[in-house]
Structure 1
């Protein structure tokens, strides 16, 4: 039995503006019921890719397929309204002169009145707003407007939902709940979702697959766990979290640091490498009369630093250390309240199994002595 094609597939999409490739040979696919996040900084080509898929912009090269059928290349183009693609934007784009029910029903002009009313009621019930059917958008909160926008986008039963930073206008306290509610509704509908965001936390929370973009190109793709734990380069690692970085040179496939040696297979002698460790993977021990804790295979050698500053961040504490070996600054995060006084000496150890080793490409790295 032949495998069903992806609900959405784009192949080798390129878009140029003034000779500059804003989208550069991008390919991806999204299955029914799957959420794929296009993740990257502003200007990396995410929204342009979305606009091309929606049909409001045109690629210079490449092809777009829906359910295995070609809908757009450089010669043939199915108009946007016939692509079975829904769209949600960060400003919700609700019609202020229409009621909530009328907004949701807007794309159902081809349905009979009874069918239209039933679909509107079904969706407003699903998003918890059936009692607001006769209200107007201005009377609703931002979170409620977002749910109306979701119901309106889903009303025609699109096979694909394109979402461009749809939660960025919401209060932080509401955002997680609204994201979870939206994701649940989209999964129930079996919609293939392509979500654009510049927030790694949002991508990790919502995505089945993350596609990381940089300068118009796809630099890495995969499940959130793999993207976080096996980033393709230092820039990808830094996009998902803060990093402490120590730079060292390679000798006999090893790089020496104050925390011990790290393997660098495949790199020639004399080349520089960045050893990156996330703040939550630093281990801290008190300095007891200058006696260093014992080195272990898991934590390597200890290195001593003095507290520069400590701050409570709500559910964790951030402590910055000025390291004695070269005066560099390393950051550690610890759960709960941990606020040692400035200049307190402490020993730091690193989780060797959590360290990431990359060829060095950054001039701001701290060289190990």
Structure 2
């Protein structure tokens, strides 16, 4: 049987997958016998911003320090553009890794001008160095301060100078450890957006450490959620938020309500109707988790609530404990009739029912998460 030869450019000659700019494989680090970073693996592509997100003490900064070469791992490998730069035997010195660093403390040299700070790590002809400094300061809107000293700048301006200094040598990778934590809340969003624009323009692979979910959601192309030294979930911000790995992952991004139930025949019976619990054995308890914004409130009509629906299930009654206006929304806390538990609901705009007022609650089935029960 005759087969046609593959044409040039045919799919049979598939392109090799792109090489990550940064790849860490099975990194581990212990201090005093305590495992701080536990078998962490991660890839970051050129031009990609990945946020290493997690609570304080979970191992984020230690991971960053190992990549930078400031800390030595006990196990694992670090690769840049497919080339090994560090394992437990071979080690490229930090200054030869082409990695930029930016930490909470901007650490600008007070005796150097803004321009001298930005150009501090540059080599070569004076004209080329000056051109690079002017280019970066122009991008961050600070060219007019090139001959000023850092003390004359605001915190946000100093942050942009520190960013320019880190980017000046054109690093292939930029590591950022809580770089916006010292900024005023009113400035933070603008500075984040400006920083993101500059980083994207430089096409560096960015690994940003933060403990703020909002910051990660705002800046990241990909989030790696870290807990107790391990990455527990990784993916696009939408997926990490809407398909959480466990109850703790949901709670890290927002307030949660938890309804405990017992499984019978892959179903859990609750005052809000039945919930599917596939794969959970009979008699086991599950936690049904829902965010406050996905609880629907309805008024009491002479002891009756709204009729059940496929989307919202069965309504359950409670009484208002307190209601507070939060600016863009109102937070209402309700004590449920069926067990006295408190559930929280957020409502857009102003909704401030008086304490003791009866309300009916319904919960979005497609916005609930069912996990094995934990204390």
Instruction: Please indicate the TM-score interval, normalised by the length of the shorter structure.
Output: over 0.9
| Counterpart residue number, 2:369 | 356
**C-alpha contact 2:268 2:276 (8 A) present in aligned 1:** yes
| Counterpart residue number, 1:136 | 149
| Shift in Å, 1:3 | 2.7
| Shift in Å, 1:291 | 1.7
**C-alpha contact 2:288 2:370 (8 A) present in aligned 1:** yes
| Counterpart residue number, 1:37 | 51
2 CA distance for matches of 1:111 and 1:2? 36
2 CA distance for matches of 1:62 and 1:74? 7
| Shift in Å, 1:225 | 0.5
| Shift in Å, 1:51 | 0.1
Does 1:286 pair with 2:299?
yes
| Aligned counterpart for 1:326 among listed residues 339, 351, 361 | 339
| Counterpart residue number, 2:181 | 168
Q: Deviations over 1:213-236 (max 9, x none)?
A: 111111111110110011110011
| Shift in Å, 1:317 | 0.7
| Counterpart residue number, 2:87 | 73
2 CA distance for matches of 1:174 and 1:94? 20
Give the alignment of 1:221-240 within 5 angstroms: 221-240=234-253
2 CA distance for matches of 1:30 and 1:215? 22
SS of corresponding position for 2:287:
strand
2 CA distance for matches of 1:141 and 1:301? 55
Q: Deviations over 1:296-338 (max 9, x none)?
A: 0100000111111111111111110011111100000111111
**C-alpha contact 2:29 2:35 (8 A) present in aligned 1:** yes
2 CA distance for matches of 1:198 and 1:4? 30
Instruction: Give the gaps of 5 or more residues in structure 1.
Output: 363-369
| Counterpart residue number, 1:367 | none
Count of aligned residue pairs for this structure pair: 361
2 CA distance for matches of 1:280 and 1:72? 46
| Counterpart residue number, 2:10 | none
| Shift in Å, 1:289 | 1.5
Does 1:61 pair with 2:72?
no
| Counterpart residue number, 1:12 | 26
| Counterpart residue number, 1:245 | 258
| Shift in Å, 1:341 | 0.9
SS of corresponding position for 2:244:
coil
| Shift in Å, 1:361 | 1.2
1 CA distance for matches of 2:350 and 2:105? 38
Give the alignment of 1:269-308 within 5 angstroms: 269-308=282-321
Pairwise CA RMSD: 0.7
**C-alpha contact 2:313 2:365 (8 A) present in aligned 1:** yes
2 CA distance for matches of 1:288 and 1:97? 72
2 CA distance for matches of 1:4 and 1:282? 43
| Shift in Å, 1:138 | 1.1
Q: Which runs of 4+ in 1 moved over 3 A?
A: none
2 CA distance for matches of 1:296 and 1:2? 50
SS of corresponding position for 2:120:
helix
2 CA distance for matches of 1:191 and 1:305? 53
2 CA distance for matches of 1:238 and 1:348? 21
Give the alignment of 1:308-319 within 5 angstroms: 308-319=321-332
Instruction: Give the gaps of 5 or more residues in structure 2.
Output: 1-14
Q: Deviations over 1:252-297 (max 9, x none)?
A: 1000111000000000011010001100000011112212110001
Give the alignment of 1:91-102 within 5 angstroms: 91-102=105-116
Give the alignment of 1:198-209 within 5 angstroms: 198-209=211-222
SS of corresponding position for 1:106:
coil
TM value normalised by structure 1: 0.97
Does 1:105 pair with 2:119?
yes
TM value normalised by structure 2: 0.95
2 CA distance for matches of 1:222 and 1:172? 27
2 CA distance for matches of 1:270 and 1:137? 65
SS of corresponding position for 2:225:
strand
